[in-house]
Amino acid sequence: MVGILPLCRISKNVFLKALKNIHPEDSSMYCARHKYNNFRKVYPDPKLKGLYWDAVRATNEFDFKHAIDSIKSVNKDAWKWLLQDEPKHWPLHAFDHHVKVDHVTNNMTESFNAWIEKSRQFPILTLLEYIRRKVMKKIYKRFEKGNAWESEIPPMVRKKLNQARKNSRHIQGLSNGDKYEVYDNERTCLVNLDKKTCQCGMWQISGLPCKESIACIHNKQVDPLDYVDPYFTKSAYLRTYSGRINTVEDSSAWTIVQHPTILPPKKRSNKSGRPAMNRKREADEPLRKKKKKFVVIHCKFCHEHGHNKAGCPQRLENQGKMIGELINY
């Protein structure tokens, strides 16, 4: 199999070694968030946190080297710790340009965990059936959503291009044809519209024109949409969700087959208390706040809302009158 399989892993393990032996062409990337959580346990300096993320999100080798050298000047041991993993596995600039993705974390898997949160306590077959139905519904809804788009460029891609267009207003450049020399905040970038490359690196990584390249595209008076990678078109989106998951009839209608009976797994010795259902969160990860339920209170005495019987002004007024009449009597 020839292809690219981007993976987010916490550290090197047997799986990655096996993957390299079977598919040497595939690329594997480590999750920057998990890497930082391990890094922070040893080097909790706040200065290193900002420099670490500068290094991770660097879109070209020059910016990465500048950030990693800054880390070295602050703490040489921290610099050595980070480079234990080869830079080809974790900073953004090292991502394979065929993948066209600019995410440095595996938050997508965390989103999936939250998506199936209510069903994680189910038995395995019930859980798989629950996931099958949710995925079947999701694929169909996304296909219908994409099919309704009037433009070949999806709305989210268009939104990103519009933001990049706004950021490119102050950028100026010189051209000798399809090659441009761009000036942005006392920094020079070289842009090649024919090859769809920018020296900043973001265009090659994300597949969408960066602000420097959009400035050049406007200078040439052509449409930036023509320079969007084919991965980010309506046609590619519809191909992604064109498949269908088959519906499954009730188990009572299934054909009976002769197979050995599968026994349930051996019961493990349970710890005291209920089993934990929520995933373990990182130390700096914010807790999910429960939404407060607001209930309208109705009074049983006057039947108005906003107070209860004990605090009903009409009831208290009536009680005061009764007490006054008893005193006068």
Mean of pLDDT values over 210-232: 92
pLDDT band at 1 (very low <50, low <70, confident <90, very high): very low
Do the domain assignments include residue 143? yes
Tell me how far the alpha carbon of residue 327 is from its chain's centroid.
Answer: 72
Binning pLDDT at 50, 70 and 90, where does residue 153 land? very high
Q: Which domain holds residue 92?
A: 8-96
In a domain? residue 242: no
pLDDT reading at 80 higher than 70: yes
Which of 174, 201, 236 delimits the end of a domain?
A: 236
Last residue of one domain, picked from the residues 106, 126, 148? 148
The model carries a pTM of: 0.74
Kind plus residue range of the DSSP H or E element containing 78: helix 76-82
CA distance 164 to 214: 7
pLDDT at 4: 38
Is 102 inside a domain boundary? no
At 135, the pLDDT band (50, 70, 90 cuts) reads very high
Q: Kindly state the average pLDDT of the residues 152-181.
A: 90
- The edge-to-edge listing of strands for the beta sheet with 197-198 is 172-175, 179-184, 187-192, 197-198
In terms of domains, do 193 and 230 share one?
yes
> Three-state SS for 61?
helix
CB atoms within 10 A of CB 84: 8
Which span out of 111-115, 156-160, 179-183, 318-322 was modeled with the highest average pLDDT? 156-160
Is residue 141 over pLDDT 50?
yes
In a shared domain, residues 135 and 167: no
Query: What pLDDT sits at residue 228?
Result: 94
Question: Quick one: 163 and 195 in the same domain?
Answer: yes
Decide if 30 is inside a domain: yes
Cα of 212 vs its chain's centroid, Å = 26
- The verdict on 72 and 138 lying in the same domain is no
pLDDT digits (tens, 9 = 90+) for 233-267: 999 999 999 999 999 998 888 888 888 887 877 77
Q: How many domains does the chain have?
A: 3
- CA separation for the pair 237, 146 (Å, rounded): 7
Residues 6+ apart with CB under 8 A from 102: 59, 92, 95, 202, 205, 206
Q: What is the dihedral of CA 117, 120, 126, 131, to 10 degrees?
A: 40
Same domain, 13 and 52: yes
